[in-house]
Amino acid sequence: MDLAIEASGLRKSYGRLEVLTGVDLQVPAGSVFCLLGPNGAGKTTTVRILATLTRPDAGTARVAGHDVVRERHRVRAAISLTGQYAAVDELQTGAENLRMMARLSGLSRRDARRRAAELLERFDLTAAADRHAGKYSGGMRRRLDLAAGLAGRARVMFLDEPTTGLDLASRQAMWDVVDGLVGSGTTVFLTTQHLEEADRLAARIAVVDHGRVVAEGTPAELKRRFGDQRLDLDLADRPAFDAAAAHLGSRVVQRDDARLTLGVTTDGSAAHVRSVLDEIDPAGTAVRRFSLHSATLDDVFLSLTSRKELAGV
């Protein structure tokens, strides 16, 4: 398998704070790989190491075939990095932004103009090419930011929460752009807080928590591994809700205090559902109703990461 990114045993600490405690990754070339995790789990530090912005304390990593420490200049020539907020010059037009980035990537004036025109068309910005970027909508600025990252024909693109602050329509347009990048052979390494985004885009997902990878696989594999079905229980009153939550403990993967609803993973069989109901409601008075749902990445995420950290997600 041709790997665009491979990392082994990455560790990073800041003082006494251990941010990464041994991260291993393998990202196939020409695919979308998503890193999921709660705030503070180590996602951004991992991206910074892979993009040569931070040195690891231990471990090794190669991006586009080059070591991120010993061959930093070669890694940087092969990648682009787009952060959570669009970094474009709002005083320049869209075309000027792209020509500038192409020139900084080493292209001649003629080739920079040609590359800018290609990217404007690819990202549906041709009509706004001569408009100052400061007058672009949020979605247009994000598209321009992505286009600027490709001005040097990057082989690997790091997208750190690229749809932050975008409305649903703009997010869906961005997803189409990412699909197009992969279709042209670019490898996309994505971090996101939107689980449906990971489900929609990623060929493989790694879930990171407390500085280490706690699970990895395709979206379908992760859902199967951590429960194909979710059993939602609507409790009759607050005492019944509190008692059931305390009894089920870590098996609870979703909790809605306002609606007095708890969600637990199940294999979907009648025997298992009956067993759970008998376990928490032997008298048949605590559970008002129950329902079965297909497992989602939300369920996987909640099963794998700490409840305290998830409160801010």
Confidence of residue 312 (pLDDT cuts 50, 70, 90): very low
Structural element, H or E, at residue 197 = helix 195-201
**Mean pLDDT over residues 154-172, rounded?**
81
Whether the pLDDT of residue 61 is over 80: the answer is: yes
Whether the pLDDT of residue 313 is over 50: the answer is: no
Position with higher pLDDT, 164 vs 21:
21
From CA 299, how far away is CA 127, in angstroms rounded?
A: 42
Confidence of residue 307 (pLDDT cuts 50, 70, 90): very low
Whether the pLDDT of residue 79 is over 70: the answer is: yes
Looking at every residue in the chain, the average pLDDT score rounds to 87
φ and ψ of 261, to 5 deg: -120, 135
Domain boundaries, the chain: 3-218, 227-294
Residue 138: what pLDDT? 81
Contact 20, 212 (CB under 8 A): yes
Residue 306: what pLDDT? 52
CATH topology of domain 3-218: Rossmann fold (3.40.50)
Q: What is the pTM of this model?
A: 0.72
Angle at 169 between CA 178 and CA 223, to 5 degrees: 60
**Mean pLDDT over residues 122-138, rounded?**
91
> CATH class for domain 227-294?
alpha beta
From CA 236, how far away is CA 267, in angstroms rounded?
A: 24
Q: Which of these, 121, 106, 190, lies nearest to 153 by C-alpha position?
A: 106
Residue 84: what pLDDT? 65
Q: Which of these, 226, 287, 289, 212, lies nearest to 45 by C-alpha position?
A: 212
Confidence of residue 85 (pLDDT cuts 50, 70, 90): low
